[in-house]
Chains A and B, each alone.
Chain A
């Protein structure tokens, strides 16, 4: 296809390709990058109910950094990321090993573990809100069973509400990690297992010393995916806790939307810009790996 210019029909292929690329580029630029730039620009103005063109430098950022609610949301996000990424990867990996060993039953178990993933965060939020309901949910049921001072009222406790989001997220996303790692394990060369059997290496050592290092890129991808989901997360906070009690379980992703709703555009834009920078932080190593893989093709 290198001599496209000389051949009218090949020209048609490459011309249409260029048109397709140009339109996609236009959509991506207008639909994402121009809007992103707009928000960043807005964060440097003193906009409130309506956007204004008055340039105020970093004033909105200083207001944001002086806001207690914002810092609560940021601390929550750090805790949320740590717990969700750690637990999903470890639990997903252990489940993947078990499912991998369960010859013949892999499809059955995988289907069950990935089932929560197919549902909306809104459904998850509504269902877990009911389970965690202090008056009628798990707490009540366990007390009925005879453990009278059992306490599981995290949904209404300011210092614990963030953990309800963590639990629900882990429930929903462990299946994804499991599936990614299971896929990695099944791509492992069958000779690894054959050799291990010949040398009588115990199964757990093959997993610990051969498979785990081979899956390192998958651990990395899973962490990046979970991190970017956590930074973006809005749906679950909005439906499960609504950020409450008070603002104790707020996350930055909801803070931004809330500020747009409260018509404090300058602060919303500043917070959104910080979100963007946070995701970009995770993006750089990811892009680097992707580019390296792309070059080697």
Chain B
């Protein structure tokens, strides 16, 4: 029995090592001076660790023609992601709550519509979206990306909230409505305290998805308003890649830190949401 557990943990640790290896190499590379990278091996530990690459990636690396580092993308990403996350979560909560009330034919139809649109590739709507945004004069602005993000996240967030609200006892809504509470009073006063885990999961997932979003950021934003993922790709991507590997890795890690932080904070909750046990724990 004991030997079994040792073998089990040895295998699991090996697998964990494989999973962590790329990130470890990236972090090690980012704190090595360029000379050590050229002459050494990627497995080698840094002889003279330095954070110079991190500060260069953040504040002074040249991306395209601008030498402001990836921090400009960080600000851009924040100003796109925060409104889009809150917008999509509120809209999703409202729609999800509406869908979780009494079943009706239009509600079923909307549910089907939303499930189908979960599967539509963004590439299919990309060009018409550009045309519409140009007509509305929001093409190239942050608003344009925010609008696209919110609309595009609506099905997922709605289904998440709908499934959560369905898992609550129906008597709560019935009792509140007999007491005279309206739609929004029930949603944001009565149900909110019970729904904290659902909101937390929705916020964490949406933050991760939208922070990591690339296609809309690439196609819909002007060069000086690009989000962090797009700037990272310009800095380190295959076409414009410079040879400063430590700066590239530092920039990649800087772009990854916010979502990794959210993941480590909300990981347990996210795991529970996968097993569909948000409401009873």
Contacts and interface: CB of A to CB of B under 8 A. Distances in A.
Interface in A38-88: 38-39, 42, 51
Give the interface centre of A130, A182, A184 by most chain B CB atoms within 10 Å.
A130
Given A35-B132, A120-B259, A102 B9 contact: yes
A136 B245 contact: yes
Interface in A257-273: 257, 260, 265, 268-269, 272-273
B233 A268 contact: no
A141 to B, nearest CB: 4
Chain B contact patch, size range: 35 or more
B124 A273 contact: yes
Given A122-B232, A232-B123, A131 B237 contact: no
Contacts of B155: 28
A32 B229 contact: no
A12 B19 contact: no
A118 B264 CA distance: 9
Interface stretch (B60-68, B138-146, B192-200, B248-256): B248-256
A210 interface: no
Contact of A102 (B12, B95, B102, B119): B12
Task: Decide if the interface of chain A is mainly helix, strand, loop or mixed.
Answer: helix
A1 B22 contact: no
B23 A127 contact: yes
A107 B268 contact: yes
Give the interface centre of A111, A127, A234, A269 by most chain B CB atoms within 10 Å.
A127
A17 B103 CA distance: 11
Nearest to B94: A20
Interface in A124-149: 125-131, 133, 136-138, 140-141, 144-145
B121 A276 contact: yes
Given A35-B125, A122-B214, A279-B119, A175 B183 contact: no
17 contacts: A13-B182, A20-B98, A25-B106, A29-B113, A33-B117, A35-B129, A39-B124, A107-B271, A119-B260, A122-B212, A122-B214, A123-B229, A131-B42, A182-B271, A187-B275, A232-B122, A273-B124
